[in-house]
């Protein structure tokens, strides 16, 4: 990661996953609210957190887990390719980055196994995600020896964001019917991605003059930039949530029914009021929501 590209690549992965999480969490939550309004008071507890979400283009494949594995493979390959000097492995920092990517690949592998209902201990997909974020935080925390003050600052801010991802994932696992931890995971994943970009442009600016990494006023500017990243992501998620809410609210009841009953092949929208609440919850979690 000791280059601009080395920060842009993981940043892109985290931004894409963060946007995906944001869309799917809001969509599931508002769909559950609509279903609850139709099903009655018991339907209001239908929402449930999950680590991954099925893609409507291919609901039978664990695409999210596969993408995690692919992204980890790309990251590990890039780090390995740039770690050799004179035919010898000399970059211990690259080894740390490869280890970080490995844990996210491991999380993707557990996601795939969970998708195919391999008998694993309960919540292993959550545990694997929490482990990946925790190991990333640990590696970044002890990755700063001998760095300049600004270098330490930007990476410590990144460390705090990664800890936020780990904490949010833990709360998701413990409070599966609460949407807030899921939105926090989306928020911190997005923030991690955009801050990876910022770290790359601060430490390895491609076209501007170099930052003075020992200047206190410029370090204060870095802190200000971090707050702007937080504000931008909060506004983005608020706008995204509003747009998704309006989209779901505009759905006719027949389209809502078709989405909920996709895998059960129900054909009579009038029977939606007879749906079993737990059964509908399972449909909400497993449906690719093609009609939305």
Helix segments in the chain, DSSP class H: 4-39, 63-81, 92-115, 124-141, 149-174, 179-203, 216-249, 253-260, 277-286
The arithmetic mean of pLDDT across residues 157-167, rounded, is 96
Higher pLDDT, 255 or 188: 188
Q: What does the pLDDT read at residue 79?
A: 82
C-alpha 258 chain-centroid distance: 28
Residue 116 domain-assigned (yes or no): yes
Q: Residue 243: which domain range?
A: 4-286
Q: What does the pLDDT read at residue 269?
A: 36
* 56 three-class SS: coil
- With a CB cutoff of 8 Å and minimum separation 6, the contacts of 291 are 251, 255, 258, 259, 262
Report d(CA 100, CA 142) in Å as an integer: 13
Report d(CA 204, CA 9) in Å as an integer: 14
Q: What does the pLDDT read at residue 75?
A: 87
Q: Say yes or no to pLDDT of 47 above 50.
A: yes
- With a CB cutoff of 8 Å and minimum separation 6, the contacts of 271 are none
Residue 218 domain-assigned (yes or no): yes
Q: What does the pLDDT read at residue 246?
A: 94
Residue 142 domain-assigned (yes or no): yes
Residue 76 domain-assigned (yes or no): yes
Residue 257 domain-assigned (yes or no): yes
Tell me how many domains the chain contains. 1
Q: What does the pLDDT read at residue 262?
A: 47
Residue 291 domain-assigned (yes or no): no
Residue 191 domain-assigned (yes or no): yes
The arithmetic mean of pLDDT across residues 124-133, rounded, is 96
Q: What does the pLDDT read at residue 146?
A: 79
The arithmetic mean of pLDDT across residues 118-142, rounded, is 93
Q: What does the pLDDT read at residue 281?
A: 53
Higher pLDDT, 248 or 93: 248
> Confidence class of residue 142 from pLDDT cuts 50, 70 and 90?
confident
Residue 33 domain-assigned (yes or no): yes
Q: Say yes or no to pLDDT of 200 above 70.
A: yes
Residue 114 contacts residue 124 (beta carbons within 8 Å): yes
């Amino acid at each position: 990661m000791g280059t601009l590209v080395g920060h842009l690549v993981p940043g892109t992965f985290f931004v894409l996953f963060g946007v995906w999480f944001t869309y799917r969490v809001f969509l599931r939550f508002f769909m559950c609210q609509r279903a609850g309004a139709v099903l009655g008071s018991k339907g209001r507890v239908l929402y449930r957190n999950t680590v991954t979400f099925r893609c409507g283009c291919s609901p039978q494949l664990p695409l999210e887990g596969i993408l995690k594995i692919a992204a980890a493979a790309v990251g590990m390959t890039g780090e390995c390719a740039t770690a050799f000097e004179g035919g010898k492995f000399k970059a211990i920092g690259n080894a740390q980055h490869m280890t970080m990517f490995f844990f996210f690949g491991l999380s993707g592998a557990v996601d795939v196994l969970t998708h195919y209902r391999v008998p694993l201990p309960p919540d292993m997909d959550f545990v694997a995600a929490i482990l990946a974020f925790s190991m990333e935080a640990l590696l970044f925390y002890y990755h700063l020896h001998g760095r300049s003050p600004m270098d330490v600052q930007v990476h410590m801010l990144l460390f705090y964001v990664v800890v936020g991802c780990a904490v949010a994932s833990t709360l998701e696992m413990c409070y599966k019917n609460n949407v807030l931890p899921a939105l926090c995971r989306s928020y911190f994943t997005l923030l991690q991605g955009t801050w990876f970009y910022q770290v790359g442009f601060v430490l390895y600016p491609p076209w501007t003059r170099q930052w003075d990494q020992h200047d206190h006023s410029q370090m204060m500017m870095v802190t200000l930039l971090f707050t702007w990243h937080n504000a931008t992501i909060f506004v983005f998620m608020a706008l995204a949530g509003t747009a998704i809410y309006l989209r779901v609210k505009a759905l006719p009841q027949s389209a809502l029914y078709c989405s909920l009953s996709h895998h059960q092949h129900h054909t009579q929208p009038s029977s939606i009021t007879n749906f079993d609440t737990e059964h509908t919850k399972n449909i909400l979690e497993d449906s690719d929501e093609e009609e939305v």
